[in-house]
Amino acid sequence: MKKCIIVVAILICCGLYVMVKFSMSQNQNVSNQTEETPNTEQINAGNTDKATPEEGSEPAVPADQVEAIVKVYKEFQNALKNKDYEKAWKYTSDYFRQRESGGMLMNFKEKMDAQGAIFAKAIIHPETAFKMDDLIGFLYTGPSFTSDLYLFFTQEDGQWKLYIGQEASEVSR
């Protein structure tokens, strides 16, 4: 009699286990179907391929713009490494020139002669690109920096130019 009770108890436990597992897999299927169902904004937009960006999210920076800016930055860096300050000057915006050197190439040369090596060794991180108004920013790190910076670029006369650098802690994204 005890053997029968033990066998029945085991069968009941196995049955409960199977029911719980089956129930969990059903819930998971329903959950997956819910995630794949397009939201109202997607349906209204007539586009079920991509989710609509949430309000307040940063617009993505097109890869060709990122590539163009990184190229300009590398040319700026090479000019600094070679102490070709006139060439480096060409990669800076009017705003940068006014703010950093009073709009005078001679002041820029003096400043870059003293600090150019630091900037020449710093790294721009293309994967961090983001838009902020008409500017595109990138995280910018260097071995002798005391904190991370963001470099911002703008377009002037159809060319990307260095706009300004700002401490990461001061940038609200």
DSSP letters, 117-170, are HHHHH-EEEEEEEEEETTEEEEEEE-TT-SS-EEEEEEEETTEEEEEEEEEGGG
Domain ranges of the chain: 2-37, 63-170
pLDDT digits (tens, 9 = 90+) for 82-138: 999 999 999 999 999 999 899 999 999 999 988 888 888 899 999 999 999 899 999
Query: Is this prediction's pTM over 0.85?
Result: no
Q: What is the second-level CATH architecture of the domain 63-170?
A: Roll (3.10)
Residues with Cβ within 8 Å of 166's Cβ and at least 6 positions away in sequence, in order, are 149, 150, 152
Interatomic CA distance for residues 121 and 77, integer angstroms: 8
